[in-house]
Structure 1
């Protein structure tokens, strides 16, 4: 049994001595490895902290830019609505002016047409009167020359009336 008790002692196994060697290595070289490893981890933590601070600053700047962009968008929309309203008002005013001007020109042209019609009527009436006078004078002259009877006189008047359209065509030519 004693042999069994000795065989269960931890220093007999190779794993015990490997553990002892690792502990000696850690004690001997642990400080030399821990300090640079700590510095490396500290620098990494500082870099991460700096990146987080920079990200927070960029986020704040982005939020400020977003707020500014929203304000500018709202201002641009308000200006666009104002411009659109003014354009509608200007278009309505221009349409009203053009309508009034068109009506005024139409009335002026209508008056000019009426004046031309009246002048043409007056001219036609004057021509008819002149032709009738010419025919009457010619009939009178012929009647006086010939010393006509009443039947012949009626025939000459009928002939003179029939000649009125021919007198117009001769005057027009």
Structure 2
């Protein structure tokens, strides 16, 4: 024989908290939680659900409004980033143009410096030729002056030698009588 036992029913509340319903055939006891019957719990749940749906819709609007605000802020940041990028591109182009201009200026300056260096070199060569020519003339003038001095000195020495030789010859060949006759002749010529 099978063990036939009747299952036990555990009540969650004490028997005072149960409501008896007379259905005619037997007594049925409804369970209760914190003094509320199941239909009351269903009513409270529906009320909470309706309140959540009502306020939840407002929360949804608030969340949607916040998200829309964030989207607008992100769009504004993107627009600012596009504007900054355009400004950066313009600055980059401007500086690239400045660099190209600076390179052209540098090339022009280099060419100008080369021309100036060539001109300075030509002038230096001309100046050095002129200086060599001046020094050559100065040397020639010094040589000519030295020649003149040497010729003058030779003449002076020759004159001195001739004077002393003539003095000697005159001294030897002329005496007092010849001097007297010469002096008379000179005086008579005057």
Both structures adopt the same fold (TM-score exceeding 0.5): yes
Structure-1 residue corresponding to 2:112: 90
Structure-2 residue corresponding to 1:103: 125
RMSD: 3.1
> Does the residue aligned with 2:156 lie in a helix, a strand or coil?
helix
Tell me the alpha carbon deviations over residues 126-173 of structure 1, each in whole angstroms, 9 at most, x when there is no partner: 11111111111111121122139xxxxxxxxxxxxxxxxxxxxxxxxx
Question: How far apart are the structure 2 equivalents of 1:98 and 1:40?
Answer: 84
Q: Residue 10 and residue 147 in structure 1: after superposition, are their counterparts in 2 closer, same or farther (change >3 A)?
A: farther
Tell me the alpha carbon deviations over residues 44-81 of structure 1, each in whole angstroms, 9 at most, x when there is no partner: 02101211211221122122123212211221221111
- The aligned runs of 1:39-54 (5 Å cut-off) are 39-54=61-76
Structure 1 runs not aligned, ≥5 long: 149-173
- The aligned runs of 1:20-99 (5 Å cut-off) are 20=42, 23-99=45-121
Question: How far apart are the structure 2 equivalents of 1:111 and 1:71?
Answer: 59
Question: How far apart are the structure 2 equivalents of 1:72 and 1:42?
Answer: 44
Q: What is the total number of aligned residue pairs between the two structures? A: 147
Which stretch of the first structure deviates more once superposed, 92-101 or 62-71? 62-71
Question: How far apart are the structure 1 equivalents of 2:112 and 2:94?
Answer: 26
Structure-2 residue corresponding to 1:157: none
Tell me the alpha carbon deviations over residues 17-52 of structure 1, each in whole angstroms, 9 at most, x when there is no partner: 696476234245235422431221121021012112
Note the C-alpha offset of 1:98. 0.9
Question: How far apart are the structure 2 equivalents of 1:19 and 1:93?
Answer: 106
Based on CA coordinates, which of the two structures has the bigger radius of gyration? 2
Structure with higher RCO (Cα < 8 A, 6+ apart): 1
Q: TM-score under structure 1 normalisation?
A: 0.70
